[in-house]
Amino acid sequence: MAENGDRSLDHLFAAARNSPPDTSRAEEGFEDRVAARIRGVRRGRGEWTVGAWAWRLSPALAAVVLAIGVWTATTVPELPAGSVTEVAASWEAADLADFLGGDG
Amino acid sequence: MTGPGSDPRPDGQLVAAVLDGDDGAFAALVGRHKRQVLRIAARFSRTPHELEELGQEIFLKAYVDLGQYRGDAPFPHWLFRIAVRSCYDALRKRRREFDTFPLDDGAPYMADGTISGKEDEEAARDLLSRALRRLRPAERLVITLLSLEERTIREVAQLTGWTEVNVKVRAYRARRALKRILEETDGGKR
């Protein structure tokens, strides 16, 4: 029984070997299609590279923005509320007095 | 650009030319080895479209990895190894589809084991092909390389990266599974 199975299987393999798959249609112009595929992949890879670099750099860019924010917040002194108006007003009054007094 | 069929340079020179940026040299390599590659790919493809896809994948991978080719083995061996591994990857990707593939006709060839004539051979190949689809990817790969491509155990081990013992075990299991599948088919027909 097992021998029969083995023999049948060997016959099938032998027949399949005698009748190899016909690849002639696939072979026609195959080089051109492979070349086109390679060009496509290369183009895609170029676009991917730009995108990938932008994506990879995004944490660094975010860190720079954050650092600038922190630096601005810690180094520029905060003016008390209303002081700007007062200074401006006093300057304007002094300028007006000088002008009217003929010093301007 | 030189035509792929007419380039007289040996494989090693063509590889060097490709690495120097000569895409025409790669077309020559494809033209020279496409039959061998497509033939092995056809063993694992169900449709012309699958064959085309798998064939292109193999050469694309060869192109990308060409810098790794050291020339210590003939270029066709290196390429065939890529082809075998790509076929195995393709088999594993569509593994789940195998279980439902029907085996309908072809049983008469199992009954007495005699196959004669071109039509019988093609029918036998078709039956075997459908039975092979029911095997696990590794078993199918091993039995195809051993029994259809007539490679030795050692060659299959080198091509797949598995040990020789592993190849033998998988070949044994593949034959046993195939016999069971074909006997079930044969039994169901009578």
**Tell me: the pLDDT tens digits for B78-127?**
999 999 999 999 999 886 555 555 555 544 445 455 656 667 777 888 88
pLDDT, tens digit (0-9, with 9 covering 90-100), for A45-96: 765 555 666 667 788 888 888 888 888 888 776 666 666 666 666 667 777 6
Tell me: pLDDT of B159 over 80. Answer: yes
More confident residue, B104 or B11: B11
Q: Range with the lowest mean pLDDT among A81-85, B32-36, B37-41?
A: A81-85
Q: Judge: B35–A27 Cβ closer than 8 Å, yes or no.
A: yes
Q: What is the pLDDT of residue A104?
A: 52
The token pair that represents B55 in the structure block: 């064939």
- Check if B26 contacts A (Cβ < 8 Å): yes
Q: Judge: A14–B115 Cβ closer than 8 Å, yes or no.
A: yes
CA distance B174 to A56: 47
Q: Judge: B121–A16 Cβ closer than 8 Å, yes or no.
A: yes
Nearest to B57 by CA among B30, B22, B19, B18: B30
**How far is C-alpha A91 from the chain's CA centre?**
52
Q: What is the pLDDT of residue A24?
A: 94
pLDDT, tens digit (0-9, with 9 covering 90-100), for A2-51: 666 788 889 899 988 888 888 999 999 999 999 999 988 888 776 555 56
The values of phi and psi at residue A80, to 5°, are: -65, 150
Provide the pLDDT confidence category of residue B23 given band limits of 50, 70 and 90. confident
Smallest CA–CA distance from B113 into chain A, residue = A8
Smallest CA–CA distance from B179 into chain A, residue = A5
More confident residue, B7 or B170: B170
**How far is C-alpha B63 from the chain's CA centre?**
19
Q: What is the pLDDT of residue A52?
A: 61
Provide the pLDDT confidence category of residue B140 given band limits of 50, 70 and 90. very high
Q: What percent of chain B has pLDDT over 90?
A: 65
CA distance, residue A73 to nearest chain B CA (Å): 51
Smallest CA–CA distance from B38 into chain A, residue = A23
CA distance, residue A23 to nearest chain B CA (Å): 6
Smallest CA–CA distance from A18 into chain B, residue = B121
Substitution target from B183, B185, B186 for chain A, most A beta carbons within 10 A: B183
At residue B71, the 3 state secondary structure works out as coil
Q: What is the pLDDT of residue B121?
A: 78
Residues of B in contact with A7 (CB under 8 A): 113
Tell me: pLDDT of B6 over 50. Answer: yes
Residues of A in contact with B175 (CB under 8 A): 6, 9
Residues of A in contact with B30 (CB under 8 A): 30-31, 34-35
Q: Which helix (H) or strand (E) holds A58?
A: helix A30-75
CA distance, residue B177 to nearest chain A CA (Å): 11
Q: Judge: A26–B51 Cβ closer than 8 Å, yes or no.
A: yes
* b/e map B102-125, b = 16+ CB within 10 Å: ebeebbebbeeeebeeeeebebbb
Tell which B residues from 161 to 190 touch A, by Cβ distance under 8 Å. 175, 178-179, 182-183
